[in-house]
Amino acid sequence: MPGTDTFLSVNEARTRILAAVRPLAPVSLALAEVHGLVTAEDVASQVDVPGFDNSAFDGYALRAADVAGARADAGVSLRVVGEVAAGQAGEVHVEPGTAARIMTGAPIPPGADAVLPFEDTDGVHWAQKSGAANGEVHVLETAEPGENIRRRGGDVARGDVVAPKGRVLDAAHIGVLASVDVTEVRVHPRARVAILPTGDEIVEVGDPIAPGQVRNSNAWGLDALARRYGAIAERLPIAPDTEAGLRAAIRHGRDADLLVTIGGVSMGDYDLVRNVIASAGRMDFWQINMRPGKPLAFGEIDGTPVIGLPGNPVSSMVCFELFVRPALLKLMGHTRLVNPMVQPRALEPMRSSSGKRTYVRVTVSRDGDELVCAPAGEQDSFRLTSMTEGNGLAVLAEGAEIHAGDPVTVIALDEREMLLLSQPATLIP
């Protein structure tokens, strides 16, 4: 088991995990299923959008030359020859001295080269009886050729790449793909992660609990994190503290793209997970020079990567963010794998633990024009509530000591919240 008797750095451990995973093979999925996924190839449009010249306003389609002298106090009178509604090609033709009522999105009728909105006309002389046009409109503004006309291909031209390879598809991309009639997209699929809690002391939520037992909170929290990052999570039944029981449980997770175990990777008499990984497959490393989360194991069984997380609630969640999250993202074709970081000013002193890379749960907030942070309560690794109170992890290098007022690097646990905090709050009238 190479590397299991040494403490790796956080960066080396993450590098070795990421080197062992590859993006999942591309698949074609329906448009309704690809939100948040990464394109595996360029998607080019086979059509123009808009597919025809159309009106940007409700108003009148006309010839710009006919209203060259129009003014508010000297309107130009045009005969109205018909109406064009959205979705109707119609048979209206605009000749010199005429205009056609037109609705937003309706095709520009032949002969017209501009549209003026109703607001630029008197709009009251139009009448229609028995389907025959016999009205007129007084135009009160001049127009330029092409004014208020959305040109064919003005948004997307045939052949344009609307979603390049490697793009994470968001709501706007889905809308554009729909506009060019794409029904399927070639993407990297969602990674399937199996989450295996271990330990005789673990009891499922809702089941009767005895003295000395604890709830299966870790698996539920990590399940939610996996889904938050776009993966498909499966919580496996709790495995007992026996090698036979662990082997049987692990067999159920080998078909996943990534197997994550919880607990059983420390140095206790019943910490059997790393031994089972080593005997059933291959162990790459065990133990990292960090706190919380030192007893983290990594290996593979039958080609499936296995990350063994510590059992302490905070340790498992921190290690998930640092090691499991980037592995899942790489499997799903992402190239931006690490959490964004900010650098607020520390409000309280912080110190790394015993020469280890230390991650302190902190609350980042705004103080005037700058970001500040303070520890989110007590830092014991069993205090899971500190993860609910904090929104970041302050990264303290080995041997580092941060004084009040010093800048400190913080990993954002909620990217959107951190982005909002990083920008001054301004009300726009």
Angle CA 233–239–243, to nearest 5:
130
Work out the burial of residue 61: count CB atoms within 10 Å of its CB; fewer than 13 is exposed, 13-18 middle, 19 or more buried.
buried
Q: Which residues neighbour 72 within 8 Å (Cβ) at sequence distance 6 or greater?
A: 140, 141
**pTM of this prediction?**
0.87
Gap between the Cα atoms of 204 and 122, Å rounded: 73
Q: Which residues neighbour 287 within 8 Å (Cβ) at sequence distance 6 or greater?
A: 4, 6, 7, 8, 294, 295, 296
Query: Along the 429 residues of the chain, how does pLDDT read in single tens digits?
Result: 444 346 899 999 999 999 999 999 999 999 999 999 999 999 999 999 999 999 999 999 999 999 998 998 888 999 999 999 999 877 899 999 999 999 999 999 999 999 999 999 986 545 443 333 458 999 999 999 999 999 999 999 999 999 999 999 999 999 999 999 999 999 999 999 999 999 999 999 999 999 998 999 999 999 999 999 999 999 999 999 888 999 999 888 889 999 999 988 776 665 788 888 888 889 898 889 999 988 899 999 999 999 999 999 999 999 999 999 999 999 999 999 988 899 999 999 999 988 899 999 999 998 888 899 999 977 777 777 777 788 999 999 998 999 999 999 999 988 777 777 776 655 455
Contact 150, 57 (CB under 8 A): no
The beta-strand segments (E) located in 43-97 are 43-44, 54-55, 59-62, 76-84
